[in-house]
A and B are shown apart, each in its own frame.
Chain A
Amino acid sequence: MLLSLISTIDTEGLATDFYGLLQSFYHAPMYHIVLEILLFFSVMWLLFFRKPHPIEKKLTEKEKQELIDEWQPEPLVPAVDPNHPALNVRVLDGPVGKHITIDNEESLNFATLNFLNFVGNERIQNKSIQAVQKYGVGSCGPRGFYGTIDIHLELEERLARFLGCEEGIIYSYGFSTIASIIPAYSKRNDVIFVDEGVHYAIQKGIEASRSHIKWFKHNDLNDLERLLIEQENLDKKNMKKARATRRFLIVEGLYMNYGDLCPLPRMVELKYKYKYRIFIDESVSFGTIGQTGRGITEYYNIDRHQIDLISSTLEYAVGSIGGFAVGSSFVIDHQRLSAQGYCFSASLPPLLAAAAIEALNIMEENSDLFETLMYKSKQLHNKLIAIKGYVIQGDYLSPLKHLRLPDEFNTIGRLESIVHFAQTKHITITVARYLQDEHVLPQPSVRLILNVDMSEEEMDFLCAVLQEALVVTM
């Protein structure tokens, strides 16, 4: 049937070879050619360029209303454990000096970070009182809008002069200092090399910066070099991108979570080899390490001009509130327009700036304070390692130490009972508290802080109580 159909078609007019095809093309009417071309393009578009749309079912108004009525949100906050330690803290009365008062009982304080015992110092208190009598309490505005008090400028200048740098800048909250500084310099396409053991504020700062983060193992220079070499290899593949990528190294002078010093000299050498900028957070080491308390750069005898930025808090050794950063004017001045915690927040109350200035005065006048502190830290360290049954973490020079029980005995429950026992013997110590979402959650520990005014007898008493506590809790 089909064959007969085909045989009836007049084959003479059909093209059967290439020449014939060409001929028929020339003779075809224009509309035919146009139609063919359009058809060709339609097929091409359908095949390659049309984005597939998922077939969305359109919902009716009734269905939408049902969805809205049925939807139940989760409760605003999850259930809370009433026995959580954060809800049952010890409440203090009076100044936190060498002794503190809890529930009308005095005890020796080995728990708060007032290394130089400036809290309760008469000179500092008098200067703060004078500041209240001149400026009131609050500063009533951000730095840009009449919140800059002349005492802030004085403090910035004094801090810069103390550390031998060109310029200083102060913040009104210790946590926000480094957390605002890092995102001001490091942006989305930059690379940050950071030690795993840095404290939470630095972790939040680098999270806010949205840069590429390269963690290296705590104080492990080999790991850092490995990462630097990896980055160098990446750079070689794309030189143009490498020229626009800033690199930063962020370390702490004395690590809050570990109590050990960072190996700075080698890091400064590597800086010039691999061309990164160094930011050091000296929250714990400012006012505690170094012959005159000028921090880890003094301890290692490193020229501070080689460090791009040194930041610290005024809340520990200096005995005030707030934070600061010092460095060259080129680096520091940028923060005045770009650091969020500086531009969009009210400035530090003048009385706290006055307290900080007076503390700096005392630090400059009594530089033997720091020698004493380092000597006593070594003493305490020796006494602590003599107690069998504890593992001490921290440099022998460091006034901040972490105390743990060996291996599997080290649980928060046992450490809490040690703390509780010590409190009954009038020694106040504390378990170090961390949030669960730390990058590397440190093992549970008791954080011991040495106050420069502690005597040897008091340190012996501490060790005796700790020894007794072991017996009672194990």
Chain B
Amino acid sequence: MFGSKQMKPSILPAQHRCTVKETEDNCEFEEFEGTPLYAALLTYLSYGVLCIFGWLRDFLRQSYIEKKKGALDPNAKLNFVPLYQSYESFYTRNMYTRVRDIFNRPVGSVASSEFDLVERISDDYNWTYRYTGNTIRAINFGSYNYLGFAEKDGQCAMAAINSIKSNGTALCSTRSELGTQRYHNELETLLAEYLRVESCIAFGMGFATNALNIPAIASKGDLILSDKLNHVSLILGVRMSGAKSQTFAHNDMDDLEQKLHNAIVYGQPGHHRPWRKIFIIVEGIYSMEGSICRLPLLVQLKKKYKAYLYLDEAHSIGSMGKNGRGIVDYYNMDPNDIDILMGTFTKSFGSSGGYIAGKKDLIDHLRIHSHANYYASSMSAPVVYQILSSLHILMGRDGTKDGMRRIQQLADNTRYFRKKLVDMGFIVYGNKNSPIVPMMIYMPARVTRFNREMLARGIAVVTVGFPATKLVEARVRFCISASHTREMLDKALSAIDEVGDTISLRYSKRYEHRRLKDLK
């Protein structure tokens, strides 16, 4: 009844996975085409070759045939224990440094649909860089700017500028002491209204929202069931809480039900006393897979087994749902069914920070027990005013239809882009409505080349490999924005078409391989 297949262990290439109803109309339809065998084999071979060369170069460096580049420990000669394990830095020295130029690219302008990248050149294979002073104009498919609120002029920027004039940039105090300003309360009230919940609390950093608040909610004697692909901040929060945790296979509701069932029947391991509370932690959109959580089934399960549901909508708030209210809106469900709603302001609101929303008791409890409320500085005024004005726009309170237009534009862009990619024969993961579009590349050399070739054609993309993803599942991840115009999407598609042809990225066996010009 709960569908999808179990995940195979990670060393084998992934098999084809699909949710039960294969019709394209189903809003839950997601596809993860299996890794082709030859791609997996070649990927392992590539890493093998890289390792061999890594050992060779390390040997040459140890024997002083090759000069050691990179910084040296000032305390090395004084018999201090080495600060890093040699295997930790093996990867950094021999694999990461070769391709370092595709990461951490400095940006010299606002991160909207087009931006200026600061040009940097390396004369020694990425050990050091020099800045030429030029900039490269590129279309931005890497920043999280789903609704296009990363703007340097317009209503939101003006609100931020005015708030700097009237409130300054910092508060130098915590929320529990003297860091609470009127605008913090305004933000929390407005956000609670937007999400249609009782109450809400906001923090200055999205990562810290998870890491510092899960310990305030869960503690020793509780059980946390978290999805295998949860974000690092959730994993850290779970670890710091002291509760026992188990992972269930990604989006696999059968596995989750099994674990819930066993948890209640058998209790805590060892002494078998019953668990005090059981939490299920999932994300709205998983940022590396593009998949969305199966919310209706989750709510059904949580009601059946009396567990508490924690939903992390970092990427989905603002970008999913016909009113932009997140996954809950996408599935047309009641937000009161979810016990703890969490989200961030970085992605869809063009600001920074995070929030937790739910019933008033929960939020009051967090105000009293959250680490962030007691020890971390409160949010800065321009950051809060950016969120307030973007919320006003989304809710239509500025008197225009701009909010709805952005949400609609994002949905259209997403569907158009995904359809074209799939029709061309590339393997694309995830839900058809998710604005995160991961496209599989597999081999490390192709990943690097794809990134560099795309930049040469004026498109900035984000490519990720091991260890952010599994060893054989390196991919490129496009982030669609409401500010992308049809021309920009077409330009990107033609670049992908060209590069995809040059380095043979059309892996799909389920869809025909076609060139862009052959598509209708």
Contacts and interface: CB of A to CB of B under 8 A. Distances in A.
A208 interface: yes
Interface string A367-394: 0000000000000000000000000000
Interface stretch (A31-39, A42-50, A87-95): A87-95
A272 interface: yes
Interface in B90-111: 92, 96, 103-111
Contact of B462 (A146, A166, A333): A146
B72 interface: yes
Contact of A68 (B305, B352, B374): B305
Contacts of A133: 152-153, 157, 161
A72 interface: yes
B264 A136 contact: no
A134 B161 contact: no
Contact of A90 (B174, B180, B206, B212): B180
Interface in A91-144: 91-97, 100, 111-114, 118-121, 124-125, 128-129, 132-141, 143-144
Interface string A41-81: 00000000000000000010000100110011110111011
A337 B142 contact: no
B194 to A, nearest CB: 18
Contact of A175 (B78, B166, B169, B208): B208
A125 B382 CA distance: 11
A331 B178 CA distance: 36
B258 to A, nearest CB: 12
B176 interface: yes
A140 B361 contact: no
Interface in B149-184: 149-153, 156-157, 160-161, 164-182
Interface centre among B79, B105, B205, B349 (most CB of A within 10 A): B205
A386 B64 CA distance: 67
B351 interface: yes
Contacts, number: 346
Given A73-B275, A141-B143, A96 B178 contact: yes
Contact of A277 (B80, B117, B177, B239): B80
A247 B181 CA distance: 43
Interface residues of A, number: 114
A445 to B, nearest CB: 13
Interface centre among A128, A199, A308 (most CB of B within 10 A): A128
Contact of B368 (A86, A152, A172): A86
Interface stretch (B4-12, B28-36, B228-236, B437-445): B228-236
B499 to A, nearest CB: 19
Given A137-B160, A146-B107, A112 B305 contact: no
A71 B306 contact: yes
A288 interface: no
A125 B352 contact: no
Contacts of B449: none
Contacts of B375: 175, 199-201, 435
On chain B, which size bracket covers the interface? 35 or more
Nearest to B364: A80
A319 B172 contact: yes
B306 A73 contact: yes
B249 interface: no
B430 to A, nearest CB: 18
Nearest to A276: B80
B105 A148 contact: yes
Interface string B452-479: 0000000010100000000000000000
A320 interface: yes
Contacts of A148: 104-107
A346 interface: yes
Contact of A344 (B83, B92, B233): B233
Contacts of B377: 174-175, 313, 315, 321
B180 A139 contact: no
Interface in B275-323: 275-278, 305-308
A236 interface: no
Contact of B374 (A97, A320, A341, A433): A433
Contacts of A76: 217, 277, 308, 339-340, 359, 361-362
Contacts of B74: 305, 328, 330
B347 A140 contact: yes
A351 B176 contact: no
Interface string A411-438: 0000000000000000010101111000
Interface string A315-351: 1100111000000111101101100110011101101
A315 B346 contact: no
B172 A114 contact: yes
Contacts of A316: 172
Contact of B157 (A112, A136, A176): A136
B306 A349 contact: no
Interface of B: 71-75, 78-84, 92, 96, 103-112, 115, 117-118, 140, 142-145, 149-153, 156-157, 160-161, 164-182, 185, 204-208, 211-212, 217, 231-233, 236, 239-240, 261, 264-265, 274-278, 305-308, 339-340, 344-347, 349-352, 359, 361-362, 364-365, 367-369, 371-377, 380, 382-383, 386, 460, 462
Given A77-B361, A133-B153, 17 more contacts: A76-B359, A85-B176, A113-B172, A119-B171, A124-B169, A129-B165, A135-B111, A148-B104, A150-B108, A152-B106, A208-B240, A315-B377, A344-B231, A346-B344, A351-B164, A352-B380, A432-B177
28 contacts: A73-B277, A73-B308, A76-B340, A82-B364, A86-B176, A90-B178, A92-B181, A94-B166, A95-B167, A112-B177, A132-B164, A135-B110, A136-B111, A137-B386, A138-B350, A140-B143, A140-B346, A150-B107, A175-B375, A175-B377, A176-B207, A200-B374, A313-B377, A315-B170, A341-B205, A345-B207, A345-B233, A433-B177
